[in-house]
Amino acid sequence: MDQKLAYYDIKGQIAIVTIDHPPMNALDAATKEVIAEVFRELDDRKQEIRAVILHGAGEKAFAAGADIKTFLELTPDIARRRLSRSHQIYSMVENFQWPVIGAIHGFCLGGGLELALCCDIRYAEETARFGFPEVNLSVFPGNGGIARSLYHLPLGKLKELVFTGEIISAAEALSLGLIEKVVPAGKSLEAALDLVERMIGKGPLGVAAGKKVINRARDLSIQQGLELETELWANLTATEDMKEGARAFIEKRKPQYRGK
Ligand code: CO8
């Protein structure tokens, strides 16, 4: 098959990951495996990059969810295996060392929205549409969508979306806190690049450690969260970049960070 399903390009210090499974970027097992391979390769090349942007190819969708055309072959055992693998792959995206920004256009539904929720920050075009339409198929969001939405949505709103399968606009997704910004149609990649440009001059190890603390602290008690902050903050003082940041401030010049 010639279709790549997903691929990446590195431009400057930014990796742009494209999901490319026409027409709707449905996330079947093969596409998710290629996404996993892309993030594994990016992990190998993490010294070359400082941020990742994740988006969908084509006009229609970031991703319209799991591939419904494969649902008839599912049994409880197959579903258990596939969901467990899906959770691993989505966690690779969520816990990638550098920030992962979702640049969203078109449909962002079901498993597609669940993948978007693994991004650190989501910028969406005003024409994008969001939702958990799984109940139309008599299932529910099982790819981490419920667990991760709980960090964004009030419980009643999440239930409203999950129980009705209602599709909402980018403006509503913004007002609910599901996404961070709405941009004009055709501009999500550009807006994500602008955001990333504002990050990559900063101390990369500070950004990565901040991401790790935020991702882990939400599952910890306040005391455990404080201990994690202490540990990672203290570790940063052993890096060249930390000293460079302080030195540059004192010498009134721009810091030159090397990620070490
Ligand atoms: N899977 C497979 N094919 C899809 C999907 C999908 N999720 N979405 C769209 N397509 C296909 C359509 O079948 C159609 O194909 P064809 O041309 O061969 O008939 C083509 O894309 C274009 O679609 P439409 O003609 O329907 O286009 P519209 O613009 O009229 O509608 C929609 C677009 C609204 C996106 C509509 O296609 C739709 O509702 N799609 C389904 C969305 C959905 O229900 N997503 C959730 C799926 S369930 C899920 O994600 C749970 C994850 C759990 C993981 C399970 C792992 C084991």
CATH number at residue 193: 3.90.226.10
**Environment class of 253 (CB within 10 Å of its CB; exposed 0-12, middle 13-18, buried 19+):** exposed
**Ligand 1 centroid to 46 CA: how many Å?**
34
Residue 258 lies in a domain: no
For residues 113 and 138, state if they share a domain: yes
The per-residue pLDDT for range 70-102, each reduced to its tens digit, is 999 999 999 999 999 999 999 999 999 999 999
For residues 105 and 169, state if they share a domain: yes
Position 236 confidence tier, pLDDT thresholds 50, 70, 90: very high
Q: Is the pLDDT of residue 2 over 90?
A: no
Alpha helical stretches, state H, the chain = 29-44, 76-94, 111-116, 145-149, 155-164, 170-176, 188-200, 204-217, 222-236, 240-250
Q: Could you give the CA distance from residue 143 to residue 112 in angstroms, rounded to a whole number?
A: 9
Q: Which ligand 1 atom is nearest residue 86's CA?
A: 56
Q: Which ligand 1 atom is nearest residue 69's CA?
A: 2
CATH number at residue 229: 1.10.12
pTM across the whole model: 0.96
CA-nearest of 124, 105, 141, 213 to 176 is: 124
For residues 149 and 221, state if they share a domain: no
For residues 220 and 192, state if they share a domain: no
Q: Is the pLDDT of residue 248 over 90?
A: yes
Contacts of 46 (CB under 8 A, 6+ apart): 97, 98
Q: Could you give the CA distance from residue 231 to residue 34 in angstroms, rounded to a whole number?
A: 34
pLDDT at position 1: 53
pLDDT at position 139: 97
For residues 242 and 152, state if they share a domain: no
For residues 191 and 218, state if they share a domain: no
Domain with 208 in it: 204-250
Mean pLDDT for the chain overall: 96
- Is 73 assigned a catalytic role? no
The residues lining ligand 1, judged by C-beta closer than 6 Å to any ligand atom, are 23-24, 26, 64-69, 74, 79, 82-83, 86, 107, 109-111, 133-134, 136-137, 141-143
Q: Residue with the nearest Cα to atom 15 of ligand 1?
A: 23
For residues 70 and 194, state if they share a domain: yes
The per-residue pLDDT for range 115-125, each reduced to its tens digit, is 999 999 999 99
The per-residue pLDDT for range 185-215, each reduced to its tens digit, is 999 999 999 999 999 989 999 999 999 999 9
The one catalytic residue among 59, 114, 126, 180:
114
- Is 59 assigned a catalytic role? no
Residue 255 lies in a domain: no
State the average pLDDT over residues 120-140. Answer: 98
The proportion of the chain whose per-residue pLDDT surpasses 70, expressed as a percent, equals 99
